[in-house]
Structure 1
């Protein structure tokens, strides 16, 4: 195919050379992609693909499970400043750290997937105390295989690849992913297909940790979503449940607050959530389907800038509790041998007040005539 660039087929002596027909097809639609490899420190060996689509650009990391490292529209950054200062190569992320928190050593991205075997809090064996499942799983620290970039005749660029989470005699699941953006689009769309490669039924979980900081996040910023049911995760979240949707400015010593919720959707199951700045003239919306991702988690971590001033909008198949708790409450996917589970996710930037207002109107339409239940305390079947 003339509009195809297979990264695994490049000559090692010229790894960044793109086929001329592919370059021509991309340029025709005002698209481009740059392949780079980082050197030195904890970034050493990390490969990046940066897509430029007019004023909008984004960077994905094949080395880290095809996460989205950051995006940008003009001078506006869409992402956050993590004290980790990545992207960090997975070889420097100690997933087996006895604390269960080793995953945090690499947390730096705009969008990072949590899963596949588990996606929540660390869990330990009750008898031995040994770690069973580390925080947020392994998929974000697995390399992407068979990466291909294509440009369609109508001007849509697609990055494809497969990420495998396997352990002999234990687990054998893969994720085929596509990241798409069309010429002139201020955003991108992701389609992930979780495939059970084993000869027996397998289980999976998935959560999309979508992290945003300044300049969109700031004092007075807010999240807008069509809530039907919401509860605070714990006593700390209870403290501000009445103002769960409003953000503080950077606050030294701030302890995270987390809210679990379900959202209203249209007849097809499509829904969205919006983070907008205090002025309401810029925002980022997240789009997903409640038949695939039935829950949304809002993570508020408005700590000092040096400690990682950030919020997370996190669509998920379940709540990020220990895996055994979620399994007990029926929130673990069961996938038959050779079968798959498909997920669609989109992120769009809103550059002006009119675009933000339009998205707010769409969200308001989803909840018209529907009452929201906001619990003042954690619910026993939602919160561990």
Structure 2
């Protein structure tokens, strides 16, 4: 069975980077900030077979004013990170063309200062939603609603609209010259949360995959709840009529009654379809002996796609979001490993999907994304999912986990 190791988890077991070049671009604690910075393998004197570069710049104009982006070109892929927006991933390009990402009606990379998370009854998060990968959490996640204590929990938490307090770039000075970009997201509120997430994005020159390794720490003196969904979003050129998704899962159920009508066709996609409301499905992943699970999305011709690997010990559930609306409205699908589904937090506690974190405790989250750019790559990825499934099919359960018609 072909499942790649979670390379970042191995690479980041120690906070120290042996024989690496380290650059601090932002550090709120020391009031350090570089607006524009760029480096490549030649400047570093590294004899890499594949040229690479990393550049940080600040955007200007409109609602993107003041947003920082980091563009990593590993010679195979060009990945744009957004430190100002929770260290999310804006898109991934290959040969100058976007391969991972989507076309949102939100065109600018919106500075969080222009976003009111509680507007539209807690849907303000959507005013900036256009990234390929969004961290939904960590204090809470899911649909907006009033929690049991009367507090309004806005859509998908605060992490993605939290600027990183720290940005460091580490480049190994030994082959294969792995590039790691670190960030730090702080969710600190007096009498409420004291959560800090150390994020790390890693990519190796010449490779068609990259990894995320996040470490969430509770710095409070009291136990707290946490939730996270890695909202990973794909549009054209992978998403199209006849595109198909595979997931190693024992069971799938509709999020609500509306999604029931699409349950039998959960693996296939329509083309852009007017008046198609979003359909969401809850999956229960299965994994190998080490907890590694897989999901794959590919185009109709099965010669272009993406593979996502995650660990069910860390991220035990998987959400599939199908939003095949018109191109103008946002034609996109989300494959979303998480600790929780997309229900409001108060509906997930009874499901055992609102974990807790002790004082001083840390939780680790590892994901690897692989661009599949050939028929053989897609075939091998789908085979890996089927190997995990064995002779079993994904069981379809028609009843939603939460009866939202009676929940309010």
Q: TM-score, normalised by structure 1?
A: 0.94
Summarize deviations over 1:235-262 as a string: whole Å, max 9, x none: 1110111101100000111100000001
Cα RMSD for the two superposed structures: 2.3
CA–CA separation in structure 2 for the residues paired with 1:288 and 1:318: 14
Give the alignment partner of residue 219 of structure 2, picking from 185, 197, 221. 197
**Alignment match, 2:23:** 5
Structure 1 unmatched runs, 5+? none
CA distance 1:343–1:187, change in 2 (3 Å) = same
Alignment of 1:74-93 (within 5 A): 74=95, 75-93=97-115
Greater alpha carbon shift after TM alignment, 314-323 vs 9-18: 9-18
- 8 Å contact kept, 2:256–2:404: no
Pick one of 50, 64, 71 that aligns with 1:43.
Answer: 64
Whether 2:168 is the aligned partner of 1:145: answer no
Query: Number of residues paired by the alignment?
Result: 382
Contact 1:232 1:260 in 2 (8 A): yes
Q: What is aligned with 1:133?
A: 153
Contact 2:225/2:356 (CA < 8 Å) preserved in 1? yes
Separation (CA, whole Å) in 2 of partners of 1:314 and 1:142: 20
The answer to whether 1:376 aligns with 2:398 is yes
Alpha-carbon separation, structure 1, partners of 2:274 and 2:42: 49
Q: Which range moves more in the overlay, 91-100 or 352-361?
A: 91-100
Give me the whole-angstrom Cα distance separating, in 2, the residues matched to 1:12 and 1:188: 28
CA 1:11 to 1:170, structure 2 compared with 1: closer, same or farther past 3 Å?
closer
Change (3 A) 1:13 1:253: closer
Provide the C-alpha distance between the structure 1 equivalents of 2:352 and 2:401, rounded to a whole number of angstroms: 15
Q: TM-score of the superposition, structure 2-length normalised?
A: 0.88
Corresponding position: 1:220 with 2:242: yes
The whole-number CA distance in structure 2 between the counterparts of 1:96 and 1:23 is: 46
| Higher mean displacement: 372-381 or 231-240 | 372-381
**Residue 167 (str. 1) matches residue 185 (str. 2):** no
C-alpha distance in 1, partners of 2:373/2:319? Answer: 25
1:242 aligns to what?
Answer: 264
Deviation at 1:378, TM superposition (A): 1.5
d(CA) in 2 for partners of 1:21, 1:249: 42
User: Structure 1, residues 42-97: CA drift from partner, whole Å, max 9, x if none?
Assistant: 00000000000112110000001100000012234210000011210001111122
Distance 1:85 1:26 in 2: 37
- Deviation sequence 1:285-335 (CA, Å, 0-9, x none): 111011111111100000000000000000010111111111222211211
Q: Distance in 1 between matches of 2:290 and 2:219?
A: 29
Consecutive unaligned residues in structure 2, runs of 5 or more: 1-18
Deviation at residue 3 of structure 1 after TM alignment: 1.3
* Shift, 1:18, TM fit: 4.7
Shift, 1:98, TM fit:
5.3
**What is the match of residue 76 of structure 2?**
55
Deviation at 1:374, TM superposition (A): 0.9
Separation in 2, partners of 1:13, 1:317 = 34
Match of 1:108 in 2: 130
- In structure 2, the CA distance between the partners of 1:2 and 1:373, relative to structure 1 (3 Å rule), is closer
2:242 partner SS? coil
Residue 357 of structure 1 aligns to a residue whose secondary structure is helix
Aligned equivalents of 1:182 and 1:70: distance in 2? 17
Which residue of structure 1 lines up, in the alignment, with residue 86 of structure 2? 65
Q: Note the alpha carbon deviations across 1:13-42, whole angstroms, 9 max, x for none.
A: 974245799941567352211111000100
Q: Cα gap change, 1:260/1:347 in structure 2, threshold over 3 Å: closer, same or farther?
A: same
Q: Distance in 2 between matches of 1:319 and 1:2?
A: 39
| Cα distance in 2, alignment partners of residues 340 and 235 from structure 1 | 37
